[in-house]
Amino acid sequence: MQDIISIVGTGFVGLTTAAVFANAGYRTYTIDTDENKINTIKSGKSPFYEPGIDGFVERAITIGNLIPTTSYSESIPNSNIVFICVGTPSNEDGSVDLKYVFESVSSIIENANSDLIIVQKSTVPVETARRLEKMIQEKNKKNIKIDVVSAPEFLREASAVFDTLFFDRLVVGARNNEAANKIIEIYKNVDSFSKVINYEKFIDYAFNNTSKKYLDNLPLFEKRILRTKVESAELLKVTANSFLAMKISFANSIARICDETGAISKEVMDGIGMDSRIGRSFLYPGLGYSGGCFPKDVSGMINTANEYNVDFGILEEVKKINSGQINIVVNKLKRLIGENLEGKKITVLGLSFKPGTSDIRKSQSIYLIKRLIKLGTIVNAFDPKATDEAKKEFNDKNLNYMNSIESACQSSDCVVIATEWNEFVNFDYNSIKETLNNKNILDCRNCLNKDKITESGFNYIGF
Ligand SMILES: NC(=O)c1ccc[n+]([C@@H]2O[C@H](COP(=O)([O-])OP(=O)(O)OC[C@H]3O[C@@H](n4cnc5c(N)ncnc54)[C@H](O)[C@@H]3O)[C@@H](O)[C@H]2O)c1
C-alpha cells in the first residue's frame, strides 16, 4: 500500500514538511484548527512568508497531492502515518505547554481506524513520548496498533524548504524498528526527489555560495541518518538549540569585554572560529537570540533540568545575558545621541526575529521597540516582510510602521539595524544622509561595513 500521510499543525514546520512530501509524490493531508490558514493553503498560497514555499504549495495543490483540512475525521482514517507539528510554546514558569500535542494526539486516537505511526516532530521535553504512549494505551479502545516515533525537526526558518529537501540529518528515535524504517523510507524518497527537481526554478535563493558549498559537501543519505532511543531523540533537539543559544550569549559576553577594552569582537570571533573545535557559526554578538524556538527551548531545558534535580545554571546565565542585550543597545544608543532619549526619533530597521521570515515571535527587535517607547522616543519601524505580523502584536501612538527605509529614516536621530535583511545591508545610506536629523547608525547585527559608513560621515556603533 502507498503510504498516506497526515501532518497535524500547518505552521512553519508542518506546512513546509507537507508541501515537500506532497511534491515528492505522497498524498498528504495537512490539518490545522485555524480555518483561515487552511483556506489560504487551499488557494495555493502559504499563510506566512518563507522563501520558496509558495511554489511548492501551489504545485502540490495543483497536482492534488496536498489536501488542507480542519477535519481529523476526513484525514486520519485515510492515513497510516501522522506527523505532529503543532506549536509547543512556553508556560508562564518556562515549562513547555504540551496542550496542543496532547489535544492533537487525542483527536488522532479518536479518528484512527487502522494501524498508525505517530511521528513527533514538535520540539518536546524528554519523556513526552512515554506520556503519549500512556495516553494511547488508556484511550485506544479499538484493536489497532499505534507506534510513537520521535523525529525532531532541524529546519531553519528562512531556508525551511531548502533544509527539508537537503536535510543535514534525520534523527529517528523509535522503540519499533519497522516504524523507524518507514520514516527513513519517506525521507529516502524526499532525498531522491531533491535530486531530480528543477530546484533552481523553485528555490533560486538556494544558489548562493554557502548553499552551493553545502550541497557539494552533503554526505550520502545513509550517513545523515541517526537511529536513537526515543528519549535521546527528544533530548538532543532541545540540547542543540540550547547549545546554539549558549554560543550567542557567549559571544555577547565577549563583546561586552571588547567594548570596555578596545578589542574588536569580530576579530576575536574570527580568531577563535578558525579553531575547528569551536567553529565560527553562531558567534555573532548583537541584539541576541529570539524567535519561536531558542527562547522557549532554553527555558524548557532549564525546566527539565530542575525537574530531574540537575544543576544547569549555565543556561540560566544564557537567558539572563540575552535579555540584558536590550540594555546594552540602549546604552550604545545613549552614547550616540545623549542620555536623554525623550522625544528623540529612532528608526528601527527590521522587526522579524531574523532575515528571510515574517516571523516575529519573541523578536528582540519588538522588545527593543517596546523599551524605546517606554523611554519616551518616537519609533519609525520598517521591515520588508514582517510589518503585518508586528501590527497584530504591538501598536502604540509613538510607533509608526513605515513602508520603506527612506520614509522610516526621515528626520531620524539614529538608525538602528535590528535585523540584518539584505535590503538593509546593501542599502546606500548616503542617499538618505541629508534627510536625517543626526547621522547616527547603531548596527545591532554588525552587518554594515563600518569603515565605509564612517568614511561617509556617519557616527557608527556596532557590537
Ligand atoms: N519554526 C521553526 O523553525 C522550528 C524548527 C524546528 C522545530 N520547530 C518545532 O516545531 C513545532 C511547530 O513549530 P512551528 O514554528 O511550525 O509552529 P507554528 O506556530 O507556526 O504552527 C503550529 C500550528 O499548529 C496548529 N495547531 C495547534 N493545535 C492544533 C491541533 N490540535 N490540531 C491541528 N493544528 C493545531 C496551530 O494553529 C498552528 O498553525 C514546535 O514544537 C517548534 O518548536 C520549529
- The reported pLDDT for the residue numbered 204 is 56
Q: Domain for residue 49, yes or no?
A: yes
Question: Are residue 207 and residue 242 in the same domain, yes or no?
Answer: no
Q: Sort 215 into a burial class: Cβ within 10 Å, 0-12 / 13-18 / 19+.
A: middle
- The reported pLDDT for the residue numbered 364 is 98
Between CA 72 and CA 306 the distance in angstroms is: 36
pLDDT per position as a tens digit, 35-68: 999 999 999 999 999 988 999 999 999 999 999 9
| DSSP strand pairing (146-150 vs 170-174) | antiparallel
Q: Sort 343 into a burial class: Cβ within 10 Å, 0-12 / 13-18 / 19+.
A: exposed
∠ CA 24-115-112, nearest 5°, is: 90
Whether residue 285 contacts residue 251, with contact meaning beta carbons closer than 8 Å, is answered with: yes
- The reported pLDDT for the residue numbered 179 is 98
Instruction: Tell me what the pLDDT averaged over the chain comes to.
Output: 96
Q: Domain for residue 138, yes or no?
A: yes
Query: Ligand 1 centre from 31 Cα, in Å?
Result: 11
The three cell numbers locating residue 176 = 519499533
∠ CA 395-321-159, nearest 5°, is: 65
Ligand 1, residues 29, 40, 50, 86: which to mutate, most atoms within 8 A of Cβ? 86
Nearest to 229 by CA among 299, 130, 298: 130
All residue ranges of the chain with pLDDT < 50 are none
Q: Which amino acid is at 187?
A: Y
Between CA 65 and CA 60 the distance in angstroms is: 5
Question: Are residue 362 and residue 451 in the same domain, yes or no?
Answer: yes
pLDDT per position as a tens digit, 153-195: 999 999 999 999 999 999 999 999 999 999 999 999 999 999 9
* Positions marked catalytic: 293
Q: Count the neighbouring beta carbons within 10 Å of the beta carbon of residue 403.
A: 9
Question: Are residue 278 and residue 145 in the same domain, yes or no?
Answer: no
Task: Please give the radius of gyration of the chain, using alpha carbons only, rounded to the nearest integer.
Answer: 23
Question: Are residue 415 and residue 461 in the same domain, yes or no?
Answer: yes
Query: Ligand 1 centre from 18 Cα, in Å?
Result: 13
Q: Is the CB of 86 under 6 A from ligand 1?
A: yes
Q: Sort 139 into a burial class: Cβ within 10 Å, 0-12 / 13-18 / 19+.
A: middle
Whether residue 170 contacts residue 187, with contact meaning beta carbons closer than 8 Å, is answered with: yes
- Three-state secondary structure readout of 370-389: HHHHHCCCEEEEECCCCHHH
For ligand 1, atom 30: residue with the closest CA: 104
Between CA 72 and CA 102 the distance in angstroms is: 14
Between CA 385 and CA 360 the distance in angstroms is: 10
- The reported pLDDT for the residue numbered 342 is 97
Ligand 1, residues 32, 36, 159, 169: which to mutate, most atoms within 8 A of Cβ? 32
Q: Is the CB of 87 under 6 A from ligand 1?
A: yes
**Chosen domain end from 228, 254, 277:** 228
Q: Domain for residue 131, yes or no?
A: yes
Q: Is the CB of 157 under 6 A from ligand 1?
A: yes
Q: Which atom of ligand 1 is nearest to the CA of 103?
A: 31
- The reported pLDDT for the residue numbered 203 is 55
Question: Are residue 85 and residue 156 in the same domain, yes or no?
Answer: yes
Question: Are residue 248 and residue 371 in the same domain, yes or no?
Answer: yes
Q: Is the CB of 299 under 6 A from ligand 1?
A: no
Between CA 323 and CA 295 the distance in angstroms is: 10
Q: Which atom of ligand 1 is nearest to the CA of 48?
A: 20
**Chosen domain end from 158, 193, 228:** 228
- CATH number of the domain at 389, please: 3.40.50.720
Q: Which amino acid is at 31?
A: I
Question: Are residue 218 and residue 358 in the same domain, yes or no?
Answer: no
Q: Domain for residue 233, yes or no?
A: no
Query: Ligand 1 centre from 197 Cα, in Å?
Result: 27
Question: Are residue 55 and residue 131 in the same domain, yes or no?
Answer: yes
Q: Is the CB of 266 under 6 A from ligand 1?
A: no
For ligand 1, atom 13: residue with the closest CA: 87
Question: Are residue 287 and residue 393 in the same domain, yes or no?
Answer: yes
Domains: count for the chain: 2
Domain extent for 101: 4-228
Query: Ligand 1 centre from 97 Cα, in Å?
Result: 12
Q: Which residue blocks in 88-208 are alpha helix, DSSP H?
A: 99-111, 128-139, 160-165, 177-196, 199-202
Query: At which residue does the C-alpha cell 484511550 appear?
Result: 139
Q: Which atom of ligand 1 is nearest to the CA of 104?
A: 31
Between CA 386 and CA 359 the distance in angstroms is: 7
**Chosen domain end from 228, 256, 276:** 228
Ligand 1, residues 12, 157, 167, 169: which to mutate, most atoms within 8 A of Cβ? 12
- The reported pLDDT for the residue numbered 325 is 98
Between CA 336 and CA 316 the distance in angstroms is: 31
Q: Which atom of ligand 1 is nearest to the CA of 156?
A: 3
∠ CA 355-360-361, nearest 5°, is: 125
Query: Ligand 1 centre from 319 Cα, in Å?
Result: 23
The three cell numbers locating residue 218 = 552533503
